[in-house]
Amino acid sequence: HDNSKNSPHPRNRRASTPTAFTMRFTTASTLLAASTLFGAALAHNIQLAAHGRECFHENLHIDDKMTVTFQVGDREFGSAGNLDIDFWIQNPSGNYETHERSISNGDHSFTAKHDGKYLYCFSNEHWSASSKDVSFNVHGIVYVPEAEAPSDPLEAEVRQLSELLAQVKDEQSYIIVRERTHRNTAESTNGRVKWWSMFQMGVLVGEGIFQVWWLKRFFEVGKNSAERFGVLSR
């Protein structure tokens, strides 16, 4: 786990991948297996520190498929602003599968061409002096040779159902984070409008008081000048 470059070891977190089933399922056990796979695809949330970086890795084999989806948000009301971060995925040879800058959300899929450790990182090192909330999902499909593929139609249906449930969960997590981000932005805008309106009102009140004082002083000076002129003319 590499947090603000203080630790050289990224977190080892296996992707939420379907596994091979070797037994027949009753209706109850089928639902239980689907629920287990659904739970494995829950979103992960991290607090990305100012000028910090968080890295994770997955151990993949050739032809395994992996998908990383993420959304950047802010936790606190009034902190809406720049949500951009950098994101990249590196394969075992050190080359980039993807490397993007200045993004606030993403959906990246790839097929492993090498056996080994695939590193993916979220970086806030170049964009903001404030922390950011990153919600992300990692899931994939383990490649199974045709000779080892399940022949049970029920098992194949469970696999397909688990993939669909994972996609639904990803969409729900994405919508939740987007709603929170938009709500914070709207509340921040409303707060700024309120304070700007109060400032304008203060300026108008101050200007009115100044004009009354100035007019009063103007007429007092004019009255005193007229009185002095009358005394001199006598």
Q: 56: closest CA among 3, 103, 135? A: 3
Q: How far is CA 106 from CA 33, 113, 141, 151, 231, in A?
A: 29, 22, 19, 35, 86
Model pTM score: 0.54
Question: Could you tell me the CATH superfamily of domain 11-185?
Answer: GOLD domain (2.60.120.680)
Domain ranges across the chain: 11-185
Q: How far is CA 168 from CA 20, 104, 164, in A?
A: 22, 21, 6
Tens digit of pLDDT at every position of the chain (234 positions) = 444 444 444 554 444 433 333 333 333 333 333 333 433 444 688 888 888 999 999 999 998 888 898 888 776 544 556 788 999 999 999 999 999 998 888 889 999 999 999 999 999 988 767 788 888 888 776 655 555 556 678 887 887 888 788 778 777 777 777 787 778 778 878 888 999 999 999 999 999 999 999 988 888 776 666 666 665 555
